[in-house]
């Protein structure tokens, strides 16, 4: 994963683009204005990272309400207790096979990582892995979702379960309205989409417009952003669980571009413009950022 450097120290409690007229007056417990639909990813890769409690307090000080964590780290979960943050909890990809094939493993995963925190943490979704190449682990994904559903039901926990995909499964990703899956991926995605649609759960997606832009800058506008997927289930919502812009590398990878992308994304989500096919709906979005 490339480094995305966004200066959260200057993150406004109203709107990073300066427009604070679209948050519908929503405030946190301290009276600070917050942005509907905007969250951040919290990862632990790096050196000399601050302790989880410090990070959570920092995010709260910026009125950030939503967070995604990449695995059920005990220290992070402890820091999130009674924080008021809404949390997407992801499994590790290496656990998908065991989750899919061993009901006891799935039950123990829930008992270990969810039940002890269920009364103090608002788990928004549980994501079965982070799928870059769905062809290789797709069967594990759909079976993991089913096993999680079975493990949660006896505990009376109504936590949506889903999986996370990337743009690599799209045969066409630009223009966004033309987004379609590769033909050989559709057979894997359809049962996942059917599972989600039947339960009104969203599909989670990692969206990095930079890669499309850098590969075809002459035809793709720099403000290229969000997309629609066609999986034969038009009722399935999409939650953008990762997005960002690299801040170091080639000519397009600058801190200014990364900050501009983040600011414009926040303004777009806050405005409720969403996508052309679903105007007026807040598109839940999580920004990837670096703690270093």
Beta strands 161-166 and 238-243 are: unpaired
Cβ atoms within 10 Å of 75's Cβ, excluding its own: 11
Strands of the chain (E only): list them.
38-42, 66-69, 86-90, 122-131, 161-166, 170-172, 180-181, 203-207, 238-243, 285-288
Model-level pTM? 0.79
**Mind giving me the DSSP string for 84-151?**
--EEEEE--GGGHHHHHH-HHHHHHHHHHHTGGGTTTSEEEEEEEEEES-HHHHHHHHHHHHHHHHHH
For residue range 189-233, list pLDDT tens digits in order.
888 889 999 999 999 988 776 666 555 555 545 444 433 455 567
CATH dotted code for 8-288: 3.20.20.80
How far apart are alpha carbons 93 and 30 in whole angstroms? 37
Residue 160 confidence (pLDDT) above 60:
yes
Q: Tokens 């096919």 belong to which residue?
A: 277
Q: Tokens 């989880």 belong to which residue?
A: 52
Domain boundaries, the chain: 8-288
For residue range 113-143, list pLDDT tens digits in order.
999 999 999 999 999 987 655 556 667 888 9
Residue 15 confidence (pLDDT) above 80:
no
CA distances from 62 to 16, 109, 148, 178, 227 (A): 11, 32, 33, 36, 28
Q: Which residue has the higher pLDDT, 2 or 45?
A: 45
Residue 278 confidence (pLDDT) above 70:
no
């Amino acid at each position: 994963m490339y480094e995305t450097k966004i200066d959260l120290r200057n993150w406004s409690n109203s709107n990073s683009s300066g427009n604070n007229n679209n948050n519908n007056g929503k405030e946190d417990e301290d009276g600070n204005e917050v942005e509907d639909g905007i969250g951040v990813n919290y990862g632990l890769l790096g050196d000399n990272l601050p302790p989880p409690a410090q990070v959570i307090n920092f995010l709260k000080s910026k009125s950030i309400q939503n967070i995604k964590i990449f695995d059920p780290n005990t220290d992070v979960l402890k820091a999130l207790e009674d924080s008021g943050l809404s949390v997407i909890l992801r499994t590790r990809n290496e656990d998908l096979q065991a989750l899919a094939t061993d009901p006891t493993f799935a039950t123990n995963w829930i008992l270990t990582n969810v039940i002890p925190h269920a009364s103090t943490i608002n788990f928004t979704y549980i994501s079965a892995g982070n799928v870059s190449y769905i062809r290789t682990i797709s069967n594990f994904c759909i079976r993991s979702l089913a096993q999680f559903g079975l493990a949660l039901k006896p505990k009376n926990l109504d936590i949506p379960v889903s999986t996370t995909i990337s743009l690599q499964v799209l045969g066409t990703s630009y223009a966004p309205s033309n987004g379609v899956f590769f033909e050989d991926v559709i057979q894997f995605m359809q049962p996942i989409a059917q599972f989600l649609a039947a339960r009104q759960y969203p599909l989670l997606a990692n969206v990095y417009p930079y890669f499309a832009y850098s590969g075809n800058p002459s035809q793709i506008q720099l403000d290229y952003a969000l997309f629609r997927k066609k999986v034969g289930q038009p009722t399935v919502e999409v939650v953008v669980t990762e997005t960002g812009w690299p801040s170091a590398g080639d000519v397009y990878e600058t801190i200014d571009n990364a900050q501009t992308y983040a600011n414009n994304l926040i303004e777009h989500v806050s405005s409720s413009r969403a996508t052309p096919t679903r105007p007026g709906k807040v598109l839940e979005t999580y920004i990837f950022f670096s703690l270093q």
